[in-house]
Amino acid sequence: MSQLPNNFGFADPEQIADTTRELTYIAAISEALREEMRRDPNVFVMGEDIGGTFGGAFKVTKGFTDEFGEKRVLNMPMAELGFVGAATGMALMGLRPVIEMQFADFISTAFDSIVQFAATNHYRWGAAVPWVIRAPSDGGLRSGPFHSQNPEAWFVHTPGLKVVAPATPADAKGLLLAAIRDDNPVIYFESKPLYRSEKGYVPPGDYVVPIGQANLARTGNDLSIITYGAQVREALTAAEQLAVEDIDVEVLDLRTLKPLDTEAILTTARKTGKVLIVHSANRLVGVGAEVAAIISDQAFEWLDAPIRRLGGLDTPIPFSPPLEDAYRPNAAKIVQMAKELAAF
Amino acid sequence: MSNYSLTRDQKLEIYYWMRLTRTFDDIAVAYWKQGRGVGGMFSERGHEAISVGTGYALAPEDVVAPLHRDLGCYLLRGLTLRRVFSNLLGRATGTNAGRDANMHGSGDMSLNLVGFISHLPQTVPVALGVAMSFVYRNEPRVAMTYIGDGSTSAGLFHETLNMAAVFNAPLVLIVENNQYAYSTPLVQQMKIPDIATRAAGYGIPGNIVEGNDVEAVYAVTKEAVERARAGGGPTLIEAKTMRMMGHAIHDGAEYVPRELLAEWERKNPVILFEQQLLAQGLTDQEELDEIKHRCEIEVTDAIEYAEKAPLPDPATVEQGVYAE
Ligand SMILES: Cc1ncc(C[n+]2csc(CCOP(=O)(O)OP(=O)(O)O)c2C)c(N)n1
Ligand SMILES: [Mg+2]
């Protein structure tokens, strides 16, 4: 990674001047893939239904077979355990597979190939496994228990993996490029609820968002919300509402879940002294638990209130709208908890 | 098959690797029984013709992922006895410097060797991926790996062979049918007599070979390897043999009928090959003894080397989790 230019936002002055260039979150993912496949012949995509004229369940690779041919757009039989294992073999030979899970929920089917083989390989005998799994995650879309999951904690718990979860179109592109160029297996959790509803400026051309760097999405003084993925947007919405009531909220977008940006976490915790951690995944033993532990270990004297966490309930993710809304964090729930924390 | 006949020198080379494998096994088993080993250890006794005969059929540029009973394959690919025994003793000079146990993780891409993990048969799809990389890059190379009879019950066997067929991948999969998966005999694993017949379900060739006859193993493997190299796709080869010791060193294998072991001891692959070489008039007992002696010296050297080698520094325990 270190040899790569960290020129995020400063790519090409002429193009950067065009600040009106807006892409949806999903278009940014597609653009990153397409540009990287043009740049590096070792990069290719594989997954279910991604090829031909279809282009994947979410159309991220639509048109890719036309441009890159069938050799670089591998339509796989429905066998995640096997084809993630195959991706590991291809990566061992120096290729850079980008695997599309049709939904993040199905990643459990490939668990052994990820956490046992790929993740341990470099530690065991020193051979790198540079693949990326794109995992379309998160809910709020009335898709029920098996098309709404956020299984990131399993992988954050696994030595040898890196885990990222972009919240904006610009980060979606820059983190995907960083993930592809990283020499380790990276799980890239993209948020389905952001796909077409989240739009923003995306720098044209080549840039990376370095793995391991959080982003201060909003500065404030009264309390810190630490979050990632689709909950960044909820937190920012909540922050607007809280500002009306004179509660000045800072929002830290983690962007990378493994390795965590400990410095950024401690800096915001020490600044405001009050921390609310939010994620869509169920709260129990979630990423937020580790973030809270880091803060209580290393910023205890700065805290003015207990660390609060808001996550999904410890249930499967229900389908019917009132049930899913009861399950899942959102801006209104964040406002409620933030007010209580501010008043502590 | 006759296209792939072996010269005298090649046959003696094969004999050397088989004998080295058996000598290593004899000495290592004794070492562990004396309580001098570290952790567990797998005997490959009975598998010498398979691991050497298949490995010998590969070209140096081909890639292979051997398993726990394939010492001969590792050795003939260039993994030294010193590195192997160092690893068995958890030394810093071992194949993976004490990161992984016994033959696990004995990978070295400079030797085109992929290290296996315990989860069986996880190596099979990885070898498929290696084969798919050759298709991707238009390289005339072949990937080969192994699977035990027991591990063919796992879904990955099916997933991988199906995908290998769909992608016409240059993959050769060797089933080492040694009649047991730990304590479980074949009859409790499957209802068919021959695993190779499953190949028909994927539309690929399936061959059965007498796994204790190294020349037969070599010939059938060589044919599959060269077919794969020429674009002919994957092959499943079932080599029938017998696991002559317990599952691992701790296991006395009381559950295996002694008559079965006695029957297979008469087909000892190393002795069988010696008899073939003598019958073919290619060598004499003196030369065979000389090779045997050389093997003993090499194994003894590896043990002495490993015993003197440094243990890994605990300060390095967190190193290497990630590629930098
Ligand atoms: C997924 C998995 N489950 C259980 C084990 C424990 N185990 C190791 S070897 C083995 C039996 C394997 O039998 P087989 O595939 O026939 O190979 P063999 O040891 O006989 O050569 C078992 C159960 C394992 N390694 N992997
Ligand atoms: Mg067996």
Mean pLDDT (whole number) for A94-122 = 98
Q: Please choose from B119, B146, B247 the residue to mutate so as to test ligand 1's pocket, defined by most ligand atoms within 8 A of CB.
A: B247
pLDDT digits (tens, 9 = 90+) for A281-315: 999 999 999 999 999 999 999 999 999 999 999 99
Name the minimum distance, in Å, from the CA of B49 to any CA of chain A. 27
Residue A208 lies in a domain: no
Q: Which residues pair with B207 in a beta bridge?
A: B237
Establish whether residue B119 lines the binding site of ligand 1, counting it when its CB lies within 6 angstroms of any ligand atom: yes
Residue A17 pLDDT: 52
Q: Are residues A42 and A149 in the same domain?
A: yes
Is residue A73 helix, strand or coil?
Answer: strand
Q: Are residues A79 and A182 in the same domain?
A: yes
**CB contact at 8 A, A286 and A255:** no
Catalytic: which of A122, A147, A157, A279? A147
- Rounded CA separation B289/B291 (Å): 5
CB count in 10 Å sphere of residue A196: 12
The nearest CA of chain A is from the CA of B81 a distance in Å of: 17
User: Which CATH number describes the domain made up of B7-312?
Assistant: 3.40.50.970
User: How is B84-139 classified by DSSP, letter by letter?
Assistant: HHHHHTT-TTSTTTTSS-TTTT--BGGGTBPPP-SSTTTHHHHHHHHHHHHHHTT-
> In angstroms, rounded to a whole number, what is the distance separating the alpha carbons of residues A281 and A313?
8
Q: How far apart are CA B91 and CA B27, in angstroms?
A: 18
Question: How far does CA B160 lie from the centroid of its chain?
Answer: 19
A164/A172 Cα distance (integer angstroms): 10
Residue type, A136: P
Domain boundary among A179, A201, A223: A201
Tokens found for residue A310: 């808001």
Residue B181 C-alpha to ligand 1 middle, in angstroms? 6
* Max CA separation in chain B (angstroms): 57
Tokens linked to A39: 């740049």
Mutating which of A123, A161, A187 best tests the B interface, going by the most B Cβ atoms within 10 A? A123
The single-letter DSSP state of residue B256 is S
Mean pLDDT of A132-156: 97
Calculate the alpha carbon distances from B39 to B4, B72, B86, B99 in Å: 41, 21, 13, 13
Q: Note the pLDDT of residue A11.
A: 38
User: Considering CB atoms only, which of B118, B127, B159 is closest to A89?
Assistant: B127
Q: What is the pLDDT, as a whole number, of residue A259?
A: 98
Residues A317, A319, A323, CA angle at the centre, nearest 5°? 80
B89: pLDDT strictly greater than 80? yes
* pLDDT at position A5 over 70: no
Domain positions in chain B are: 7-312
Last residue within a domain, chosen from A178, A201, A224: A201
* A122 counts as catalytic: no
Does residue A175 share a domain with residue A141?
yes
> Same domain, yes or no, for A51 and A119?
yes
Inter-residue contact A143 to A321 (CB < 8 Å): no
Q: Which residues face A43 on adjacent strands?
A: A96
CA distances from B49 to A99, B28, B46 (A): 39, 19, 8
Do A146 and A276 share a domain, yes or no? Answer: no
* Residue in B10, B118, B20, B1 with CA at minimum distance from that of residue B73: B20
What is d(CA B156, CA A234) in angstroms, rounded to the nearest whole number?
A: 41
How far from B107 is each of A13, A197, B83, B147, B322, CA to CA, in Å? 47, 46, 11, 17, 16
Cα–Cα distance list, A303 to A16, A187, A269 (Å): 40, 33, 7
Torsions phi, psi for A23 (to 5 deg): -130, 155
pLDDT at B3: 66
Task: Please say whether the beta carbons of B111 and B79 come within 8 A.
Answer: yes
Cα separation, A121 vs A191, whole angstroms: 28
CB spacing of B163 vs A122 below 8 angstroms: no
Q: Ligand 1: does its nearest atom lie under 6 Å from the Cβ of B243? A: yes
Return the half-sphere exposure (C-beta side, CA atoms, 13 A cut-off) of residue A299.
25
**A265 alpha carbon to ligand 2 midpoint, in Å?**
51
Mean pLDDT computed over every residue of chain A: 95
CA B74 to centroid of ligand 1, rounded, Å: 20
A3 part of a folded domain? no
A219 and A193 both lie in a single domain: no
Average pLDDT over residues B164-180: 98
Residues A307-339 have pLDDT tens digits of 999 999 999 999 999 999 999 999 999 999 999
* Number of CB pairs, chain A paired with chain B, less than 8 A apart: 135
Does the residue A1 lie in any domain? no
DSSP for residue B230:
T
Residue A2 has pLDDT above 70, yes or no: no
- Backbone dihedral region for residue A309 (phi beyond 0: left; psi -120 to 50: alpha; all else: beta): beta
Kindly determine whether residue B128 and residue A82, on different chains, have CB atoms separated by under 8 Å.
Answer: yes
For residue B241 and ligand 1, the question of a CB distance below 6 A is answered with no
Share of chain A above pLDDT 70, in %: 95
Q: Which two tokens stand for residue B286?
A: 């003196």
In this prediction, residue B113 has a pLDDT band, given cuts at 50, 70 and 90, of: very high
* pLDDT (tens digit per residue) in B191-208: 999 999 999 999 999 999
Residue A8 lies in a domain: no
Could you say which DSSP state residue A184 is in? S
**Which positions ≥6 away from A340 have C-beta within 8 Å?**
A308
Average pLDDT of chain B to the nearest whole number: 97
In which order are the strands placed within the sheet that holds A249-253?
Answer: A215-218, A249-253, A223-227, A275-282, A308-312
Q: Which atom of ligand 1 is nearest to the CA of B148?
A: 15
Any atom of ligand 1 within 6 Å of the Cβ of B244 = no
Give me the helices (H) in chain B, please: 8-33, 48-55, 71-76, 81-88, 123-136, 155-166, 214-229, 258-265, 269-279, 285-308
Q: Based on the domain organization, do A306 and A335 belong to the same domain?
A: yes
Question: Roughly what angle, to the nearest 10 degrees, separates helices A262-272 and A287-298?
Answer: 60
Per-residue pLDDT tens for A34-58? 999 999 999 999 999 999 999 999 9
Residue A186 has pLDDT above 70, yes or no: yes
Give the pLDDT confidence score for residue A3 in this predicted structure: 37
pLDDT at A8: 33
Q: What is the average pLDDT across B218-237?
A: 98
Q: Are both A187 and A72 inside the same structural domain?
A: yes
pLDDT tens string A18-28: 677 999 999 99
> Residue B307's pLDDT band (boundaries 50, 70, 90)?
very high
Supply the pLDDT for residue A298.
Answer: 98
Domain co-membership, A21 together with A163: yes
Q: A44 to chain B: which residues are within 8 Å by CB? A: 136
Contacts of the segment B243-248: beta carbons below 8 A, 24+ positions apart: B243/B45, B243/B46, B243/B47, B243/B69, B243/B178, B243/B179, B243/B180, B244/B43, B244/B45, B244/B46, B245/B29, B245/B43, B245/B45, B245/B46, B246/B43, B247/B42, B247/B180, B247/B182, B247/B183, B248/B40, B248/B41, B248/B42, B248/B43
Return the pLDDT at B310: 98
Domain identity same for A196 and A220: no
Name the minimum distance, in Å, from the CA of A99 to any CA of chain B: 13
Contact in structure between A51 and A77 (CB atoms under 8 Å): no
* CA dist list (Å): B116 to A93, A183, A340, B74, B124: 15, 20, 53, 12, 9
pLDDT at residue A18, rounded to an integer:
67
Structural domains of chain A, count: 2
Alpha helix (H) residue ranges in chain A: 13-16, 25-39, 64-68, 80-92, 111, 119-125, 152-156, 169-181, 230-244, 262-272, 287-298, 321-327, 331-342
| Statement to judge: residues A140 and A227 lie in one domain | no
Q: Is B182 in the pocket of ligand 1 (CB under 6 A)?
A: yes
Tell me the two tokens of residue A247.
């509660």
Does ligand 1 come within 6 angstroms of the Cβ of B117?
A: no
Q: Mark yes or no for CB contact A124/B99 under 8 Å.
A: yes
From the alpha carbon of B42, which atom of ligand 1 is closest?
19
Instruction: Say if residue A15's pLDDT is above 90.
Output: no
The domain in which residue A307 lies consists of 215-342
Buried b (16+ CB within 10 A) or exposed e, B1-18: eeeeebeeeebbbbbbbb
Find the largest Cα–Cα distance for chain A.
60
* Tens digit of each residue's pLDDT (9 = 90 or more) over B261-302: 999 999 999 999 999 999 999 999 999 999 999 999 999 999
Instruction: Supply the ipTM of this predicted assembly.
Output: 0.97
Chain A nearest-CA distance from B173, in A, is: 14
The percentage of residues in chain B with a pLDDT greater than 90, rounded to a whole number, is 98
- Given a cut of 70, whether residue B37 has pLDDT beyond it is yes
Does the structure show a pLDDT above 50 at A70?
yes
Determine whether the interchain pair B122/A120 forms a contact, defined as Cβ–Cβ distance below 8 Å: no
Query: What is the tally of helices (H) and strands (E) in chain A?
Result: 13, 14
Say whether both A105 and A246 belong to one domain: no
CATH number where A73 lies: 3.40.50.970
Residues A279, A200: Cα–Cα separation, whole Å = 22
Query: What predicted TM-score, i.e. pTM, was given to this entire model?
Result: 0.96
pLDDT at B4: 83
Asked whether the beta carbons of residue A122 and residue B320 sit closer than 8 angstroms, the reply is yes
> In this predicted structure, what is the pLDDT of residue A20?
79
For residue A103, what is the DSSP state? S
CATH assignment of the domain containing A295: 3.40.50.920
